[in-house]
Structures are given as structure tokens and as C-alpha cells.
């Protein structure tokens, strides 16, 4: 089985350098896919209250022979429950749905700036961490202005910022901000949700040179950037491919060539967190 390197979060939690996305993995089929991912070697699992699969995730964890303590299990607070009391109740509900005593990582899913409640939500995560419901707390889709406010108003810096990141949208500025503040960047839709990125001719050339697949080159690029990709696949063979990233290296020229594919409007679904909101 592949040994996955780890990165250390600002609170000491060790995060595998690659995780497993679970969006759209629901019900019995979802359990089977998540179980196969754990068997393949994934230890970081990414779910959300809004994916309606915390139950499937918890069931897969119970059916797996891997001890629960060996897994880093993530869920996320939905935008409609940012008010402090609702956030606390939702974290508890997330745990009940999964049948878990604690999450390893819990993230605010979107900042939803027009509602201006994300600092309140953050305070709830801080308290839930103190009570032992969550080991590490972070955010998703937070821009520098949102992070600055969290840090200024609570004194607590998120451990993780999970953002849309792939070669067509490389997030250079946000990654630099995260790094400067000791926040680990996780990449969502690291494969661009299998859009035309997976046929890109420049990446294909690099893949041929390394005798690797295009997804493997893309995921290796994330790892070398220092970002933690969380690719989703329902298929065991792809799950294995997406984890087989640690027996080769991209050189500087290849990294730069992939970096040059990024463009300002490269988001897959035009979800700019300054405007786009999700509840």
C-alpha cells in the first residue's frame, strides 16, 4: 500500500498530503466507494453536512478494518447555520449523523459575506474544539479579508483553508496568503471535476514523459505546490491511480508549464466567494 507523506497543521494535527473527496458519494453505493478508498490507503476523508453523506461516511468507517483513530475525518458547517447556537447544534447533528464522537477537522463551508455571520460561526467552532467535539478547525473558500477578520476578532487562525484549486485556477495569491499565515491550503475540485483539464495537451505531454496519467500529473503538481488535494472517485482503479503520486517528481520547468495554464476566469463553476454564496 502507498505510504502517504503528512503535513503538520498549526495546531499539531498531521494531515495526509492527499485526501479523498466524497461529494456525490451517498447511500449504499457511497458507502462502498468510501470503503474502497479507505482500503486503497486514503486516511483523510472529506465530507460536509450539505453533501448529505455524513451517514454513509460514518457507516464506511464502522465497516472498515482501519481503526477510527487512524482516519482524519472532515465535515463542514453549512451557510444557513452560521448563527452561534445553530452552529453548535449543527456540529452536534453532524456527529450524530456520522455516529462519531468527534471530527478530526471541521470547516466553515462558505463565508457568505452578505450575511456577515462567519465570525460567529468561527466562535462556535473554537468552542466546539475546546469541548472536544472537533480536533482541528478551519474554513473553506475564505478570501484574505475574511481570514484577516477571523484572526483579528478571535485571535484564532484556521488550520486549513479549502479552496477551488487546479491548473486552470492556481490561486497563487491565496496560497501565498495561507502560507504566510501558517494555514494549510487544501484543493477542492483538484481535477477540475473532470472537465477539459483532463484532456489538456500540455499536461498530456508531461504525463507521457513520466509514463503517468494526466490526473496523476495534476495531483503531483498540487502536492509539490504544498497544497493538499482531495480528489473524488467512485471507482477503485482511479482511487488507486490518484494516490500513486510519490514515486516520481515534476521538475521546475514542468511545474511552471502547468502553472502557466491558470487564467483569471478559470473557475469551473464561477464560484467567487466574494459574491457566490451557499447555504
Ligand X SMILES: NC(=O)c1ccc[n+]([C@@H]2O[C@H](COP(=O)([O-])OP(=O)(O)OC[C@H]3O[C@@H](n4cnc5c(N)ncnc54)[C@H](OP(=O)(O)O)[C@@H]3O)[C@@H](O)[C@H]2O)c1
Contact residues: ligand X, CB under 6 A: 21-23, 46, 109, 140-141, 162, 188-194, 198, 215, 230-235, 238, 241-242
Q: Which of 247, 263, 254 lies closest to 218 in space, CA to CA? A: 254
Nearer to ligand X, 24 or 173 (CB): 24
Report the nearest approach of ligand X to the CB of residue 105 (Å).
12
Report the nearest approach of ligand X to the CB of residue 19 (Å).
8
Please report, for residues 70, 106, 194, 203, the alpha-carbon distance to residue 215 in angstroms, rounded to integers and kept in the order given.
26, 27, 9, 9
Residue nearest to ligand X (CB): 21
What is the rounded CA–CA span in Å between residue 189 and residue 165?
7
Q: Is 51 a catalytic residue?
A: yes
Report the nearest approach of ligand X to the CB of residue 159 (Å).
15
Report the nearest approach of ligand X to the CB of residue 230 (Å).
5
Grid look-up 477510527 returns 68
- Indicate which residue of 23, 42, 51, 84 is catalytic: 51
Nearer to ligand X, 19 or 254 (CB): 19
Nearer to ligand X, 47 or 85 (CB): 47
Nearer to ligand X, 218 or 253 (CB): 218
Residue 181, annotated ligand binder?
no
Catalytically active residues are 51
Binding residues, by number, are: 109
Annotated binding site for substrate: 109
Amino acid at each position: 500500500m502507498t505510504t502517504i507523506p503528512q503535513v503538520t497543521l498549526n495546531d499539531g494535527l498531521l494531515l495526509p498530503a492527499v485526501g479523498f473527496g466524497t461529494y456525490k458519494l451517498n447511500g449504499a453505493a457511497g458507502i462502498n466507494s468510501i470503503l474502497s478508498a479507505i482500503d486503497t490507503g486514503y486516511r483523510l476523508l472529506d465530507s460536509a453536512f450539505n453533501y448529505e453523506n455524513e451517514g454513509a461516511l460514518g457507516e464506511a468507517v464502522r465497516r472498515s478494518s482501519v481503526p477510527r483513530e487512524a482516519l482524519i475525518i472532515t465535515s463542514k458547517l453549512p451557510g444557513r447555520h452560521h448563527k452561534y447556537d445553530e452552529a453548535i447544534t449543527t456540529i452536534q447533528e453532524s456527529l450524530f449523523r456520522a455516529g462519531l464522537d468527534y471530527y478530526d477537522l471541521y470547516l466553515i463551508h462558505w463565508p457568505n459575506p452578505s450575511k456577515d455571520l462567519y465570525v460567529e460561526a468561527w466562535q462556535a467552532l473554537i468552542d466546539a474544539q475546546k469541548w472536544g467535539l472537533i480536533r482541528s478547525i478551519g474554513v473553506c473558500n475564505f478570501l484574505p479579508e475574511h481570514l484577516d477578520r477571523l484572526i483579528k476578532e478571535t485571535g484564532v487562525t484556521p488550520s486549513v483553508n479549502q479552496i477551488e484549486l487546479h491548473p486552470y485556477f492556481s490561486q497563487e495569491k491565496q496560497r501565498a496568503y495561507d502560507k504566510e499565515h501558517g494555514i494549510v491550503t487544501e484543493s477542492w475540485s483538484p481535477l477540475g471535476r473532470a472537465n477539459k483539464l483532463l484532456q489538456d495537451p500540455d499536461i498530456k505531454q508531461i504525463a507521457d514523459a513520466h509514463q503517468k496519467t494526466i490526473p496523476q500529473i495534476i495531483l503531483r503538481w498540487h502536492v509539490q505546490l504544498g497544497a493538499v488535494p482531495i480528489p473524488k472517485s467512485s471507482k477503485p482503479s482511479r482511487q488507486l491511480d490518484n494516490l500513486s503520486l510519490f514515486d516520481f517528481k515534476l521538475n521546475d520547468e514542468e511545474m511552471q508549464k502547468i502553472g502557466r495554464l491558470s487564467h483569471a476566469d478559470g473557475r469551473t463553476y464561477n464560484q467567487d466567494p466574494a459574491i457566490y454564496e451557499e447555504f
